[in-house]
Chains A and B, each alone.
Chain A
Amino acid sequence: MQNTVVKGIFDNFNEYLAKEQELRTEIRDIVRDIDQAAKEAAITLQVIHSSISDVPAACATARTHFEVCRAGYVKLAALIPIGQYYRYNDHWHYMTQRIVFLIALTVYLEKGFLVSRDTAAEILGLCVEQQDGFHLDIEDYLMGVLQLASELSRYAVNSVILGDFEKPLTISKFVADLNSGFRLLNLKNDSLRKRFDALKYDVKKIEEIVYDISIRGLRNDGGGATAPTAPPAAATTQEPPK
């Protein structure tokens, strides 16, 4: 008698797991496609470290890849049952963080400001509020922004190499703003906090670059008038290795 009850429970449990497994397989397939597009966007954007003149073109190409991501997210949103976003989000949250980073980088290169969560969500065709449906999780967004800071510290180094002494100064200002923004958050002892702790090294790196530029009088306003004319020439001679 007992036997049938227990057996019934476990049979149902197996059924339940099988259904979940099926859905996860479908999710994985879609996630792989989105991930591929994100990777291509990332590769395209690497150009910024080797050539200044190619940046606008790279941004435009990256945006076409974001369109592919967007289509993938629409498919994903249709697949996830309402109210179960966090049941499956382990499949896509790393990927989403990376895509947010790529979007933030693109927007920064184009316009020079931090992409807002709303805009990032809009580019990916996601909602902002959890209640509205498939949304962009706030922690994923913030993680993406933190990755941006690391990339910008690298970008600052490379723009000096390419002869642009102005860029590190704007980057420094931007990252300092980011830093003070993150200080407004009461972070719990989780992955976001750990990632935030690494931000100070990026800030330090960029400040050192600014220091090096300033101490040598290479700032534009400081009389270093050689900077604006020289770099484009340098940039055109060095073609990026594709």
Chain B
Amino acid sequence: NRGNRRNHHGRSGGRGGGGGAGGGGRRGGRDGQNAGSAALDETNPIIQSFRGYARELDAKHDRHERIVKCSRDITIESKRIIFLLHTIDPRKNNDAKVCEEAKQRLEHLFRNQFFTIAKELRGQDAYQYARAYTHGMQEFIEAYSFYEYCSGQDISHWQAVQEKLRYKHDATVPVKQDSANEPNESNTAAVPDGSDGQAETESPSTTASDSKAEIESVCLLQPLDFVLGLGDLSGEIMRKCINGLGSGQVDSCFGHCRFMQDLFRGFLSVSSARSRDFTHKMGTLRQSLVKSENVCYNVTMRGGEAAKWGGGPSDEAFGSFVGNANFEAAEAEDEGVFF
């Protein structure tokens, strides 16, 4: 479902682009007509004010598109990192190496894509553009928490992640030290680096506590996005649980299962999320949970036999082993790690 939504988004963006081009064409036509009839000249107050509105809307749409682009990059890279983390195989003893690489790549995302978004959001109401990067953010949270889970750390609180999305950086345009006492002024001077030169003043929302030429940009992480990201994490852990069985790491299954139970309990405790995604995600989470509970059940029931399956790490082998006809179908509908 998430995939669909993203597609839909892309489509609407594309059509919007087409519409824009069409508008341009029409405009050309109309201007020509004007030159002939002179019925609508540029002195008309309506035309004049609408020129201003057009500029404003264009700036908004452009910024939105730039953020969407960044968000797509984040989504792709996050999926790759998750895929990478799934290659952890205790038999090869490669977890330290894989985790290190995943960490590097996550840091890279923090430093680049998210920084770009943060720069775009500076001086803006972040909630206005939150929908442009919500998918990227969720996918990233999934990757990030999965990394933490795989490397044996506790899952970070969203405030900790939010702190990492807070950037202090020098203004690329040199700022006079004199104006340092007035953060507003220094920020106005510094604007051109992120927002191609539109004269926008810093919103007071970004805490302008820094009195140096340093400015702060924040990429807003909505707690709901974080929690939805955790919901996605459950799918990865289910996979890990099943892979664990396949590779003969029977003991680890119970730990994974326990974690998912905790996660599900957390989701249940949420009273009012005002989000359709949330209820949907909870359904998926429940399915994943049931799957991994079945794994643990089978391990307990026929633990000795399971050990014999240790040679075949493939899911199909497991599917026939569990004797669950739904298994493959359920697996197919699960959103792909292998995209």
| In the bound complex, CA of A17 to CA of B227 (Å) | 12
10 closest A-B pairs (Cβ-Cβ)? A83-B205, A10-B266, A181-B50, A188-B16, A86-B127, A86-B128, A87-B127, A186-B20, A189-B16, A5-B154
Which of B189-246 touch A at CB < 8 Å?
A: 200-206, 223, 226-227, 230
Contact with A along B257-277 (1 / 0, CB 8 A): 011001101110111111000
A131-B203, A138-B57, A188-B16 known, 11 other contacts, Cβ within 8 Å: A17-B272, A17-B273, A84-B125, A86-B127, A131-B200, A184-B47, A185-B54, A186-B19, A186-B24, A187-B19, A187-B57
Give which listed residue, B26, B53, B267, B269, contacts A117 with CB less than 8 A.
Answer: B53
Q: In the complex, which residues of chain A have a beta carbon less than 8 angstroms from the beta carbon of B26?
A: 183
Instruction: Looking at the assembled complex, report how far the CB atom of A1 sits from the nearest CB atom of chain B, in whole angstroms.
Output: 8
Give which listed residue, B123, B155, B202, B223, contacts A6 with CB less than 8 A.
Answer: B155
Contact with B along A1-32 (1 / 0, CB 8 A): 11101111111111011100100000000000
Find out whether the CB atom of B45 lies under 8 angstroms from the CB atom of A6.
no
Q: Say yes or no: is A130 at the interface (Cβ < 8 Å to chain B).
A: yes
| In the bound complex, CA of A130 to CA of B127 (Å) | 12
Q: In the complex, which residues of chain A have a beta carbon less than 8 angstroms from the beta carbon of B314?
A: none
Find out whether the CB atom of A10 lies under 8 angstroms from the CB atom of B50.
no
Q: Say yes or no: is A94 at the interface (Cβ < 8 Å to chain B).
A: no
Instruction: Looking at the assembled complex, report how far the CB atom of B326 sits from the nearest CB atom of chain A, in whole angstroms.
Output: 28
Q: Say yes or no: is B168 at the interface (Cβ < 8 Å to chain A).
A: no
Q: In the complex, which residues of chain A have a beta carbon less than 8 angstroms from the beta carbon of B273?
A: 17
Find out whether the CB atom of B157 lies under 8 angstroms from the CB atom of A8.
yes
Find out whether the CB atom of B266 lies under 8 angstroms from the CB atom of A189.
no
Which of B114-150 touch A at CB < 8 Å?
A: 123-128, 130
Q: Which residues of A contact B (CB under 8 A)?
A: 1-3, 5-14, 16-18, 21, 82-87, 113-114, 116-117, 130-131, 138-139, 141-142, 177-178, 180-190, 193
Please list 18 pairs of residues, one from A and one from B, whose beta carbons are closer than 8 Å in the complex, sorted by A's number.
A6-B259, A6-B266, A7-B262, A10-B265, A12-B157, A21-B272, A83-B126, A83-B205, A84-B125, A84-B127, A85-B127, A86-B125, A86-B127, A114-B49, A130-B203, A131-B202, A138-B60, A181-B50
| In the bound complex, CA of A86 to CA of B60 (Å) | 14
Q: Say yes or no: is B66 at the interface (Cβ < 8 Å to chain A).
A: no
| In the bound complex, CA of A16 to CA of B227 (Å) | 12
| In the bound complex, CA of A1 to CA of B155 (Å) | 11
| In the bound complex, CA of A138 to CA of B126 (Å) | 17
Find out whether the CB atom of A85 lies under 8 angstroms from the CB atom of B262.
no
Count of B residues near A, CB < 8 Å? 60
Give which listed residue, A2, A14, A85, A114, contacts B269 with CB less than 8 A.
Answer: A14
Which of B33-58 touch A at CB < 8 Å?
A: 40, 44-47, 49-51, 53-54, 56-58
| In the bound complex, CA of A113 to CA of B44 (Å) | 11
Residue of B with least CB distance to A87: B127
Instruction: Looking at the assembled complex, report how far the CB atom of B21 sits from the nearest CB atom of chain A, in whole angstroms.
Output: 9
Give which listed residue, A13, A117, A181, A182, contacts B223 with CB less than 8 A.
Answer: A13
Residue of B with least CB distance to A185: B54
Q: In the complex, which residues of chain B have a beta carbon less than 8 angstroms from the beta carbon of A6?
A: 155, 259, 262-263, 265-266
Q: In the complex, which residues of chain B have a beta carbon less than 8 angstroms from the beta carbon of A7?
A: 262, 265-266
| In the bound complex, CA of A10 to CA of B282 (Å) | 14
Q: In the complex, which residues of chain A have a beta carbon less than 8 angstroms from the beta carbon of B94?
A: none
Find out whether the CB atom of A186 lies under 8 angstroms from the CB atom of B61.
yes
Residue of B with least CB distance to A85: B125
Q: In the complex, which residues of chain B have a beta carbon less than 8 angstroms from the beta carbon of A186?
A: 19-20, 23-24, 54, 57-58, 61
Contact with A along B89-109 (1 / 0, CB 8 A): 000000000000000000000
Find out whether the CB atom of A117 lies under 8 angstroms from the CB atom of B125.
no
Q: In the complex, which residues of chain A have a beta carbon less than 8 angstroms from the beta carbon of B46?
A: 114, 177-178, 180-181
Residue of B with least CB distance to A10: B266
Q: In the complex, which residues of chain B have a beta carbon less than 8 angstroms from the beta carbon of A181?
A: 46-47, 49-50
| Known pairs A14-B269, A14-B271, A16-B223; A183 contacts B19 (CB<8 A) | no
| Known pairs A87-B127, A181-B49; A9 contacts B155 (CB<8 A) | yes
Q: In the complex, which residues of chain A have a beta carbon less than 8 angstroms from the beta carbon of B27?
A: 183-184
| In the bound complex, CA of A180 to CA of B26 (Å) | 10
| In the bound complex, CA of A13 to CA of B53 (Å) | 39
Residue of B with least CB distance to A193: B19
Residue of A with least CB distance to B154: A5
| In the bound complex, CA of A190 to CA of B12 (Å) | 8
Most chain A CB neighbours (cut-off 10 Å) among B46, B51, B200, B203: B46
Find out whether the CB atom of A130 lies under 8 angstroms from the CB atom of B125.
yes
Find out whether the CB atom of B201 lies under 8 angstroms from the CB atom of A188.
no
Residue of A with least CB distance to B158: A9
Instruction: Looking at the assembled complex, report how far the CB atom of A149 sits from the nearest CB atom of chain B, in whole angstroms.
Output: 12
| In the bound complex, CA of A185 to CA of B61 (Å) | 11
Q: Say yes or no: is B308 at the interface (Cβ < 8 Å to chain A).
A: no
Give which listed residue, B53, B203, B223, contacts A142 with CB less than 8 A.
Answer: B53
| In the bound complex, CA of A47 to CA of B47 (Å) | 30
Residue of A with least CB distance to B259: A2
Q: In the complex, which residues of chain A have a beta carbon less than 8 angstroms from the beta carbon of B270?
A: 10, 13-14, 17
